[in-house]
Amino acid sequence: MVIFNNLFFIVTLTAALGCGLIAGLFFAFSISVMKALSLLPPEEGISAMQSINVTIINPVFMMAFFGTSVACVFLIISSLMHWNDPGVVYLFVGGTIYLVGSLLVTLVFNVPMNDALASVAPTDPEGAKLWADYLKNWTFWNHIRTVASLGAATLLTIALCH
């Protein structure tokens, strides 16, 4: 049982730190990157975001983003198996918030918008309209991801205290 408890602590700590790390990344985009890109002419903003969307797909980001998701799945399942333990509700809610508000929102909203942006030539006249909609909608969903990831990090940290 001690091995499981140590593993459980390590996974919870890793998930909390991962949620915080992802929240910070999303926060940086919400408060600075997207605002800076919006100040550029549309063709430059599109080109820059297309480049960002390609370079973000790297082993470090993928491990942080999807590794945190896997840890949250583990914590949700474990919390259901130990529902009467103190603080387990924080694990369940924190893990669920991350999976829904960060992972699911990314897959359902942000990635399709990234794919649509990738399909347009930066100099295409239709690109400017797509870019204006992208800036507004992508950033809105990124705010959701930021708040969800930060909320999940907070709840998982609280769970460590119980």
Measure CA of the first residue to CA of the last residue in the chain; give whole Å. Answer: 17
Mean pLDDT of all residues in 23-50: 98
| Percent over 90 (pLDDT), the chain | 91
Distance CA 158, CA 149 (A): 14
Both structure tokens of 63: 């491990």
Number of domains in the chain: 1
pLDDT at 3 over 80: no
CB count in 10 Å sphere of residue 42:
21
For residue range 75-110, what is the model confidence (pLDDT) as tens digits?
999 999 999 998 899 999 999 999 999 999 999 999
Both structure tokens of 26: 């999303």
pTM above 0.75, yes or no: yes
Mean pLDDT of all residues in 63-67: 98
pLDDT at 86: 87
Q: Angle 88-98/59-81 helices, nearest 10 degrees?
A: 140
For residue range 115-153, what is the model confidence (pLDDT) as tens digits?
999 999 999 999 999 999 999 999 999 999 999 999 999
Residue 107, CA distances (Å) to 112, 118, 145 in order: 7, 16, 11
Domain coverage including residue 152: 2-160
Mean pLDDT of all residues in 10-30: 98
